[in-house]
Structure 1
C-alpha cells in the first residue's frame, strides 16, 4: 500500500473502496493479490480493510459498525445511518437484531427496501434530527430509538427508549418525534412504549426485568426502590409488593480487562452482595435474583414462572403493604450511577468522537 491508500483508509474507519484504491495509485491486480493473500479482507463487495485490523474488532458492536460503514461507502444516494446502525455509533444500548442488518435512511416516500444485508428506509426526516458522529451523518437518539420500536416491536423498542432516556432524551423529545410519525406503520406501538418508558433503569437487563415483573399481572412495579438504615442506603432494581427483584449480570464480577466493571476480586464482590441481600431481607422483604436467561430467550417463560412463584410466596408470608417501611425510605433522589460508554476500536473513532 502506498501512503495515499493509507491516508484514505485512515479517514474512513480503516476502509477503502476498490475505485478509491485504484484512484490512489493501486492496480486491480494489486488489490486482488492483497485479498487473495489474506492481507486485506473484503468487508463488503468492493470495500476492503486490513485483515489484522478487522481481527482486532471482537465485539458485536465493533463488527457491526465496520459492516455498516462499508455499506454506507457503497451507497451512491445521499443518506444517513439509522436504526441499529445509528444506535451502535451513538453508544445506545440495544438488543441485538435477529438478523444483523445495515440500516440507511434516505429522504423520500415511506417504505423499506432490503437487499444483501442492507435495509434502505425511504423515510423523511427533518434536519434537526440529524447529528454527526465519527464523521458520519446519522439520526439522533430519540429518532433512532423510535425507529427501533417500529422495526422490532414493543420489547426491543422499550429497551432502546429506556436507554435513550438514560442518555438524556426526555419524554417531550420522544413525543415530538412521534408526532411526526403519527400516520406511519406501528405508530400505536410507539405511543405504548413512550408511555411505559423510564430513565431510571440502569441497563438492558433491568428494562427486561421490569417488563417481566409487570407482565405477572399484579400492578406496575416500582423501579429503584430505596432503603436506608444504620448509615447504609441501598437501591433495589424492581419492587412489587414486598418482593424485590434484582438483576444479576456477569459484568458485576468480571474485571474491566474481561469486559466487566468489578474494581475488586470476584469473591469480595459476591461477599458484599450477600451482605446487601441480608440487609434487604431484614426488612421482611423477599429477594429474587434474576439473570439474563430468566428475562430473554428460551428461558424467559420459566423465569417468569419462578418470579411469580416467589412473589406469591412472599405475599403469603409478609403480605403486600409496605407502609411500615416509610421511615426507612431515602429522603433524597438516588445518585445516578456514572454511565460507562463502550470503548470502540474503530480506526479513528476517538479522534472523531472527542
Structure 2
C-alpha cells in the first residue's frame, strides 16, 4: 500500500474500495495480489481491509459495524446508517437481529427493499434526527430506537427505547419522532413501546425481566424498589407484591478486561451480594434471582413458570401488601448508576491505526 491508500483507509474505519485504491495509485494487479496472498480481505465485493485488522474484530458489534460501513461504501445514493446499523456506533444496547442486515435509510417516500444483504429504507428524516459518529452520518438515538421497534416488533423496540431513555432521550422526544411516523408501516407498535418504556432499567436483561414479570398477569411491577435501614440503602430491580426480582448478569463478576465491570474479585462480589439479599429478605420479602437464559431464548417459558411459582409462594407466606415497608423507603431518588459502555472499542479504529 502507498501512503495515499493508507490515508483513505484511515477515514473509512480501515476500509478502501477498489475504485478508491486505483484512484490512489494502485494497479488492479497489485490489489488482486494483496487479496490473493491474504494481506487484504474482501469485506464486501469491491471493499477491502487488512486481514490482520479484520481478524482482530472479534465481537458481534465490531463485525457488524465493519460490514455496515462496507455496505455504505458500495452505495452511491445519499443515505444514512439506520436501525441496527446505527445502534452499534451510537453505543445503544439492543437485542441482536435474527438475521444480521445492513440498514441504510435514503430520503424519499416510505418503503423498504432488500438486496445483497442490505435493507434500503426510503423515509424522510429531518436534520434534528441525524448525527455523525466516527465521520459517518446516521440517524440519532430516538429515531433509531423507534425504527427498530417498527422493524422487529414490541420486545426489540422496548429494549431499544429503554436503552435510549437510559442514555438521556426523553419521552417527549420519542413522541415527537413518533408523530412523524403515524402512517408508516408497522408504526402502531410505537405507541405501546413508548407507553411501556422506562428509563430506570439498567440493562437489556432488566428490560426483558420487567416485560416477563408483567406477563404473569398480576399487575405492573415497580422498577427500582428501594429499602433503607441501619445506615444501609439497597435498590432492587423489580417488585411485584412482596416478591423481588433481581436480574443477574455474568458481567457483575467479570473484570473489565474480561468484558465485565467488577472492580473486586468474584468471591467478594458474591459475598457482598449474599449480604444484600439477606438484608432484603429480612423485611419478609421473597427474592427471585433471574439469569439471561430465563428471559431470552428457549428457556423463557420455563423461567416464567419458576417466577410465577415463586411469586405465589411468597404471596402465601407474606401476602401482597407493602404498607408496612413505608418507613423504610428511601426519601430521595435513586442515584443514577454509571453507564457501562459496550465491551468493544468504537469502530475498532484504534486497532487498525495501531
Q: Is the 8 A contact 2:244 2:286 kept in 1?
A: yes
Matched residue, 2:157:
157
| Residue pairs, 1:327-346, within 5 angstroms | 327-342=327-342, 343-344=344-345, 346=347
Matched residue, 2:123:
123
Matched residue, 1:212:
212
Q: Is the 8 A contact 1:61 1:88 kept in 2?
A: yes
Cα deviation for residue 137 of structure 1 reads: 0.7
Matched residue, 2:13:
13
Q: In structure 2, do the counterparts of structure 1 residues 325 and 347 end up closer, same or farther at CA, with 3 Å as the change threshold?
A: closer
Q: In the TM superposition, what whole-angstrom CA distance separates every residue of 1:210-262 from its partner, at most 9, and x where no partner exists?
A: 00000000000000000001111010001000000000000000111100011
Q: Is the 8 A contact 2:89 2:346 kept in 1?
A: no
Matched residue, 1:53:
53
Q: TM-score, normalised by structure 1?
A: 0.97
| The 10-residue stretch of structure 1 (77-86 or 334-343) with the greater mean CA deviation from structure 2 | 334-343
Matched residue, 1:231:
231
Cα deviation for residue 294 of structure 1 reads: 0.2
Q: Secondary structure at the match of 1:288?
A: strand
Q: Is the 8 A contact 1:11 1:348 kept in 2?
A: no
Q: Does 1:70 align with 2:70?
A: yes
Cα deviation for residue 278 of structure 1 reads: 0.5
Q: Is the 8 A contact 2:62 2:348 kept in 1?
A: no
| The 10-residue stretch of structure 1 (61-70 or 30-39) with the greater mean CA deviation from structure 2 | 30-39
- Supply the distance in 2 between the matched residues of 1:140 and 1:256 (Cα, whole angstroms): 28
- Supply the distance in 2 between the matched residues of 1:346 and 1:199 (Cα, whole angstroms): 27
Q: In structure 2, do the counterparts of structure 1 residues 221 and 345 end up closer, same or farther at CA, with 3 Å as the change threshold?
A: closer
Q: Is the 8 A contact 1:103 1:120 kept in 2?
A: yes
Matched residue, 1:313:
313
Q: Is the 8 A contact 1:13 1:349 kept in 2?
A: no
Cα deviation for residue 345 of structure 1 reads: 5.1
Cα deviation for residue 326 of structure 1 reads: 0.3
Q: Is the 8 A contact 2:104 2:119 kept in 1?
A: yes
- Supply the distance in 2 between the matched residues of 1:346 and 1:314 (Cα, whole angstroms): 47
Cα deviation for residue 298 of structure 1 reads: 0.4
Cα deviation for residue 347 of structure 1 reads: 4.9
| The 10-residue stretch of structure 1 (28-37 or 305-314) with the greater mean CA deviation from structure 2 | 28-37
Cα deviation for residue 37 of structure 1 reads: 1.1
- Supply the distance in 2 between the matched residues of 1:176 and 1:349 (Cα, whole angstroms): 37
Q: TM-score, normalised by structure 2?
A: 0.97
Matched residue, 2:134:
134
Q: Is the 8 A contact 1:134 1:349 kept in 2?
A: no
Cα deviation for residue 36 of structure 1 reads: 1.3
- Supply the distance in 2 between the matched residues of 1:121 and 1:184 (Cα, whole angstroms): 12
Q: Is the 8 A contact 2:61 2:88 kept in 1?
A: yes
Q: Is the 8 A contact 1:14 1:346 kept in 2?
A: no
Q: Secondary structure at the match of 1:89?
A: coil
| Residue pairs, 1:91-130, within 5 angstroms | 91-130=91-130
Aligned length: 350
Q: In structure 2, do the counterparts of structure 1 residues 187 and 214 end up closer, same or farther at CA, with 3 Å as the change threshold?
A: same
- Supply the distance in 2 between the matched residues of 1:36 and 1:291 (Cα, whole angstroms): 46
Matched residue, 2:263:
263
Q: Secondary structure at the match of 1:162?
A: helix
Q: Is the 8 A contact 1:57 1:346 kept in 2?
A: no
Q: Which runs of 5+ in 1 are unaligned?
A: none
Q: Is the 8 A contact 1:254 1:266 kept in 2?
A: yes
Matched residue, 2:86:
86
Cα deviation for residue 340 of structure 1 reads: 2.0
Q: In structure 2, do the counterparts of structure 1 residues 91 and 349 end up closer, same or farther at CA, with 3 Å as the change threshold?
A: farther
Cα deviation for residue 346 of structure 1 reads: 2.5
- Supply the distance in 1 between the matched residues of 2:108 and 2:190 (Cα, whole angstroms): 21
Q: Which runs of 5+ in 2 are unaligned?
A: none
- Supply the distance in 2 between the matched residues of 1:246 and 1:74 (Cα, whole angstroms): 45
- Supply the distance in 2 between the matched residues of 1:14 and 1:325 (Cα, whole angstroms): 57
Matched residue, 1:194:
194
Q: Is the 8 A contact 2:57 2:348 kept in 1?
A: no
Q: Secondary structure at the match of 1:331?
A: coil
Q: Secondary structure at the match of 2:287?
A: strand
- Supply the distance in 2 between the matched residues of 1:318 and 1:62 (Cα, whole angstroms): 48
